[in-house]
Structure 1
Amino acid sequence: MRPKILATMLGAFVACAALMSGRDARSDASPGPANAATVYGNIPPDQIEFLSSPERIKSIASSGSPAAIWETLEHGEKVECLECISSIAPLLYDRNAETREIAAWWLRRRIFGVFGPGEVYEQTLKTLQGDADPKRRAYAAEALGEFLAKPGIAACGAALTGDSDPTVRAAAAGALGRLHDDAGGALGKALGDADARVKIAVLGAAPRINGWTGTPAVAKLTTDADALVRRRAVQVLDTLQAKESVASVVLLAKSDPDPEVRLSACHALGTFHDAVARPVLEEIAASDSSTFVRDQARIALRRL
């Protein structure tokens, strides 16, 4: 048997043995330095794959180090540890967004202990639906998006259209984008939300929805009072290649007071490949007050 094949097989054996035993499979733990060299060859010790032990998973949750939490949970993806769940679940409400994300990522991979009655997922649904703290409700919505489970769709749709706090509504919109579902039209309805943060979150989610049908509502936001909403709206129209909105985008490219909006509009006109935009783009390329907008108009003209 070739040495490289043998080394690969030995590496797989060591990893499986560590998983079954729950022991740390670092090169300086289970296989000693000499054995690590045999298994992994000349790979530096700090680059050798290891499996997190249940003890490390439980202890790292209270360390306060996002990097250590990420590393430990990533290497503990397939380590079944029922007693670890109660240590990781509170991280869904950690102040660090990356810690919340990796906690939900790890929890959703559990075979047992997360999705049953009264367990973490059901608790998260209840937090979104009734916790007094809007920050916790927003974090719960984020977690439901990361759990990728169907009950989260209806819960986030209800929060998006009914929660009193715009931060929660925005988080629910983002979660629906992660779930690739508009919750029966809740996302489209939320494009009319009074808060710009919510509209921006919906616009971020819209391109991720399979069979999105809210393009006309997106086009209406090209006249929104908030410049960032207008820019995000035209970027979504660009992504969706919504050629039917060319008239709205031409108006933005020609006369919007914000140069970032005009630039995005020119880019979208290039994407649409509609010759009706040529005269406007030629005018912009010659006379817009922004060098960047003029350059983008010239690029768009080449794409028509």
Structure 2
Amino acid sequence: MKRIMKPKFVASIVGAFVACAALLNGTDARSDATEQKSATSVYGYIPPDQIEFLSTPERIVSIASSSGSPAAIWETLEHGEKVECLECIAPVAKLLYDANAETREIAAWWLRRRIFGVFGPGEVYEQTLKTLKGDADPKRRAYAAEALGEFLAKPGIDACGAAVTADPDPAVRVAAANALGRLHDDAGGALTKALTDGDANVKIAALGSGVRINGWTGVAHVAPLTGDGDPLVRRRAVQVLDTLQAKGSVASVIALAKSDPDPEVRLSACHALGVFHDPSARPVLEQIAASDSNSFVRDQARIALRRL
């Protein structure tokens, strides 16, 4: 018995053939003009050679090996995100030590997406670990720490933890502290230990990274930094206490709001007191709102009073 196909089924088959033919011809099968968007409507008047191209291995090697602009390097590597190219790895790896911070970042971003040639024994990642551990140039060690943060791989945690507590150069310790924040790990207390570093920038970096780590155990060590000799450290410490809503530090923050010589520190302290919602701060905030020498601090004290 001969089967008779239903009209709807026939229409769907015809539609499929039309769609396939349209794709082969490079056209859109949809007939509804409202759903069709020209290149101009999507991209504006961008030259065609700049629209959604994929970087070739040859271009990646060329741009990574030349002294191209950071913008050109970013564009090339971003458009080559999924391009597997073993011969590209060595030139891109050299960019991890480029003078431009954005170039170093995009190089690490591209490298960490490789399936082959980066994370094996003796390859780029292991070389970066060795550079952080023992290179004679502190700048290269600092750049290696940055790269390990961007690689987002577990071995970098211990390496950066060791660097933040033991490297003799403060710039390397700063880079290692920042990398631990990127890796979201305290490295077994190394980041907390960095809060007692003799360099203010290291302490600031450790505070910035610590606040990014869920369940960070170093919170109890932040309040003592409200008495640090550097106003930038005091202000960053107050901001971290504010962000973490560390209400147990209210007495230290009240002291800063009341008498710190730096108006930026007093302003941050007033904001934190408003976040803490602790009634014991009311008398001090009222006094500050009425008599602080800085108008911005007075305004912040009034705002904090509204939040109690």
TM bucket, shorter chain: 0.7 to 0.9
Residue aligning to 1:282: 286
1:224-245: per-residue Cα shift (whole Å, max 9, x none)?
A: 0000000000000011111111
Residue aligning to 1:144: 148
1:80-95 equivalences under 5 Å are 80-95=84-99
1:165-219: per-residue Cα shift (whole Å, max 9, x none)?
A: 1110110000000000000000111100011111011011011112111112110
1:47-84: per-residue Cα shift (whole Å, max 9, x none)?
A: 73221111111111123300111111111111111100
1:80-229 equivalences under 5 Å are 80-229=84-233
Question: How far off its partner does 1:40 sit?
Answer: 4.1
Deviates more, 1:39-48 or 1:128-137: 39-48
Residue aligning to 1:78: 82
Amino acid of the residue matched to residue 68 of structure 2? G
Aligned with 1:271: secondary structure?
A: helix
Residue aligning to 1:251: 255
Distance in 2 between the 1:179 and 1:245 partners?
27
Distance in 2 between the 1:213 and 1:274 partners?
23
The answer to whether the 8 A contact 1:234-1:268 is kept is yes
- Identity across the alignment (%): 79
Residue aligning to 2:4: none
Amino acid of the residue matched to residue 41 of structure 2? N
Distance in 1 between the 2:224 and 2:154 partners?
30
TM-score by length of 1: 0.87
CA RMSD, 1 decimal? 2.2
Residue aligning to 1:42: 41
1:125-178: per-residue Cα shift (whole Å, max 9, x none)?
A: 000000000000000000000000000000000001111111101100000000
Amino acid of the residue matched to residue 242 of structure 1? A
1:237-296: per-residue Cα shift (whole Å, max 9, x none)?
A: 011111111110000000000000000001111111111111111110100000010011
Question: How far off its partner does 1:39 sit?
Answer: 7.3
The structure number with the bigger radius of gyration is: 2
Residue 65 of structure 1 pairs with residue 61 of structure 2: no
Distance in 2 between the 1:193 and 1:210 partners?
22
Residue 291 of structure 1 pairs with residue 300 of structure 2: no
Amino acid of the residue matched to residue 60 of structure 1? I
Amino acid of the residue matched to residue 56 of structure 1? R
Distance in 1 between the 2:72 and 2:170 partners?
32
Question: How far off its partner does 1:10 sit?
Answer: 5.5
The answer to whether the 8 A contact 1:270-1:299 is kept is yes
Q: Cα gap change, 1:120/1:67 in structure 2, threshold over 3 Å: closer, same or farther? A: same
The unaligned stretches of length 5 or more in structure 1 are 15-36
The answer to whether the 8 A contact 1:141-1:175 is kept is yes
Aligned with 1:190: secondary structure?
A: helix
